[in-house]
Amino acid sequence: MSDVALLDANVLYPAPIRDILLQLAVEDVFWGRWTEDIQEEWIEALLRNEPHRERVALERTQDLMNQATRDALITGYELLINCLELPDPDDRHVLAAAIVGRCDVIVTRNLQDFPIEIVALFGIKVQHPDDFLAYCLENVADKFCSAIKKVRARLKKPPYSVEEYLIILDKQGLHATVEKLRPHAAIL
């Protein structure tokens, strides 16, 4: 696979989805991209929902993300923002970044904010993270399962059995992905 995927803030937070997407990007299942604005957006959302978190720790996560993935950070898209029309004007920066970053797909939970008839003009698709991950799993099952195994192995406080981990993913709305992973449970 060689898809270039812009990861919207709502798939970088919550952590279970971010962890999978980043591990897959690190393993070159796809090329994961984002902007500083997207990074700031997920950090702000997490701090609103979990005010006990420390910004410094989240910024460290942000730095590690930028270091771990090849050329993930998109810049130079700002002038394009005001030229775009979307149902939610606050999402124009995401589409602008996807255009400048030559992305094939925007991975987001907010599908309604990126109408197909608009993003298709730029040769870009929009996919829910469940659809995107299920697609990745179908196309590179070995690498995908290896990535899931690595992510699950890093979770030590507490550790999770395969079934417990799949339940976590299912609660994140990754229903199709979980169903496609179940036959591979022995190697996760």
- What ranges do the domains of the chain cover? 4-133, 141-187
pLDDT of residue 122: 97
H or E element at residue 12: helix 9-12
Q: Which CATH architecture has domain 4-133?
A: 3-Layer(aba) Sandwich (3.40)
* pLDDT tens for the 188 residues of the chain, in order: 579 999 999 999 999 999 999 999 999 999 999 999 999 999 999 999 999 999 999 999 999 899 988 899 999 999 999 999 999 999 999 999 999 999 999 999 999 999 999 999 999 999 999 999 999 999 999 999 999 999 999 999 899 999 999 999 999 999 999 999 999 999 99
**Cis check: omega of the bond before 183, within 30 degrees of 0:** no
pLDDT of residue 78: 97
pLDDT of residue 70: 82
pLDDT of residue 123: 97
Cβ–Cβ under 8 Å, residues 27 and 126? no
pLDDT of residue 1: 56
Sheet order of strands, 125-127 included: 31-33, 4-7, 105-107, 125-127
Residue with structure tokens 């040769």? 123
